[in-house]
Amino acid sequence: MALRTPPVRTCTGCGKKREKTGLVRIVCSPSGRLVPDLKGTFPSRGAYVCPEGSCVLNAMKGRLAAALKVDKKVLDTAGDLQRDIAAAYRQRALSLLGQARKSGRASSGTSLVEGELRRGAEMTWLGLLAKDVSPDIGEKIRKALTRASVPFRESFTRDDLGRALGKSPRSVVLVKDEGIARAIRESLEREKNVMNQGGSNR
Ligand SMILES: [Zn+2]
């Protein structure tokens, strides 16, 4: 019996074949703009690229237009595809956070999170500490997360975290779902990697 192999696509930057889920799909919108399609649901022809700055920049030298069967001119008007991909991954991390809340797997607020960490936490969870948290609270939560062996990221502001949860600003959120925690970590990792090399945020 043949094993079902995951779908594989070729990166238009480095030319390597990789599993589709490890690549970003890029489409050309009807208005002639290159846009990342993280969900892979845009009906237009798609081309793939590794979520790495070097691959995106390489793909922009020509192969991306060829794979999309569009005029090379589209690459001149592509704006900053690196930044758009990074923003899309950041947005994905925030929607995952909303998803965690909807399924009752996100706790937020300093005292609630501290209490949960004291009662016992899983190493597969994820802490999201606001980067604009007050130094005292930040220090306290960092210690509590470290003591509980819960990995954490400081990527979002209190407003970002609150908005993603449909609440007022939050200093910390604890994601208590292994799958969602992993997907958020991956999104943030890709956001960072895609801005490597020549990203306009530098
Ligand atoms: Zn690549």
Ligand 1 centroid to residue 18 C-alpha, Å: 8
Q: What is the mean pLDDT of residues 65-74?
A: 87
pLDDT tops 80 at residue 174: yes
Ligand 1 centroid to residue 187 C-alpha, Å: 17
For residue range 88-130, what is the model confidence (pLDDT) as tens digits?
A: 999 999 999 999 999 999 999 999 999 999 998 999 999 999 9
β-strand pairing of 46-49 with 152-153: unpaired
Q: What share of the chain is helix, strand, coil (3-state, %, to 5)?
A: 45, 15, 40
All domains in the chain, ordered by first residue? 8-79 (3.30.1230.10), 92-194 (3.30.1330.30)
As a whole number of angstroms, the distance between CA 46 and CA 77 comes to 18
Residue 93 half-sphere exposure, CB side, CA atoms within 13 Å? 26
| Residues near ligand 1 ion, CB 5 Å cutoff | 11, 13-14, 50, 55
pLDDT tops 60 at residue 161: yes
Ligand 1 centroid to residue 52 C-alpha, Å: 7
For residue range 22-62, what is the model confidence (pLDDT) as tens digits?
A: 999 999 988 888 999 999 999 889 999 999 999 999 999 88
